[in-house]
Structure 1
Amino acid sequence: MIYVVMGVCGSGKTTIGTALAEKLGLPFRDADEFHSMENKKKMSQGIALTDQDRRPWLLAIYKYMRRLSKEGNSGVVTCSALRKSYRDILVNGCISEEREPIPEIVFVLLHGSRAVLQNRLDSRSGHFMPTSLLDSQLATLEIPTSDEKCVQVDISMSPDKVMDQIIERTRTIAIKS
């Protein structure tokens, strides 16, 4: 199974993704590693990325996950994956007739109140994503639909409880698949 830990900035994607990978003994990759320097510069200046900016980033993440899948490996990857169209690229790659879907992906949406998210962003330092983009991300977020393999976990719990919820809920998805 490939876990894509998703959500808006401040939801704890890196913290939870790293801990989940460690707990499950899986490789971990943070989506920020796949961003171009140009994208990071834009975001650090408070400029929201366009879909055109995101496409190469999403495809790079997809290619990494497809390699894991073809090798029969599991892993944990973080990615905001805010729109369904972005999640479609992560699952299918290029949107064309030559799709190579990755069937073992499960999305894990970390969600919480705006107040919790703002508090987390205000208390972190050294990250290129400014708190000013929170509202933009919340406005962009499209909650996964029932046709997507996704579990939602409330971030108001401790990281250990969040991970326990993820493991419990994704087992149910794996059994159904």
Structure 2
Amino acid sequence: MSGKAFILMGVSSTGKTSVGTVVANRLGLKLIDGDDLHPRENIIKMGSGNPLNDEDRKPWLTRINDAAFSLEQKSEKGIIICSALKKQYRDLIRQGNENITFLFLQGSFETVLARMQKRKGHYMKVDMLKSQFDTLETPDLSLEPDVIFIDIQGDFEQVVEQCMEAIKPLI
């Protein structure tokens, strides 16, 4: 039995943490929230309303990569929450890992903005959402066949079900 990492990706407020928590609980998978793996400097920078740049993200993505590697090496299966907005970020996460699948929570700017405006207690600021969409490189399945698209336009339970149906055959 080998380990498996499912990277639940997308811009802020697509439901990564909420959906990931429910899916992990229902399927008995480990859950790792990538926000908890940010270095202190990144948390301070985002908390002051400044978006991260590629250089800021490198140590964070390395930690995500290490978490996926750990799951594989310990023959555990888990969901890692990580925005993974650019192909180069996803490639860094893939590096040296054999058993990763990305689930891309995808929705329109308007849908995500409406969700973000309802959130409390998160360090991402609403005006930073545009930078997230500007940064997002939607996966091209011909180059990234390990990505599964999940449409977030439906209600929460529909998104959870889509994720579970995508994951079940792979665990």
Whether TM exceeds 0.5 here: the answer is yes
Query: In the comparison of the two structures, how many residue pairs are matched?
Result: 166
Q: Which residue does 1:113 correspond to in 2?
A: 108
Correspondences of 1:45-56 after superposition (within 5 Å):
45-56=48-59
Q: Which residue does 2:129 correspond to in 1?
A: 134
2:34 to 31, 53, 56: 31
TM (normalized to structure 2)? 0.91
- Give the distance between the partners of 2:118 and 2:155, measured in 1 at CA: 17
2:160 to 163, 166, 172: 163
Q: Deviations over 1:135-176 (max 9, x none)?
A: 00001101112132011111121222212212323456x49x
Correspondences of 1:45-84 after superposition (within 5 Å):
45-84=48-87
**Structure 2 unaligned runs (5+)?**
none
- RMSD over aligned Cα, in angstroms? 1.5
Q: Which residue does 2:149 correspond to in 1?
A: 152
CA shift, 1:38, in A, is 1.3
SS at match of 1:77: strand
Q: Which residue does 1:103 correspond to in 2?
A: 98
Q: Which residue does 2:46 correspond to in 1?
A: 43
Counterpart code for 2:126: T
1:89 to 76, 87, 92: 92
- Give the distance between the partners of 2:164 and 2:98, measured in 1 at CA: 18
- Give the distance between the partners of 1:23 and 1:171, measured in 2 at CA: 11
Check conservation: 1:108, 1:152, Cα contact below 8 A.
yes
Check conservation: 2:10, 2:83, Cα contact below 8 A.
yes
SS at match of 2:148: strand
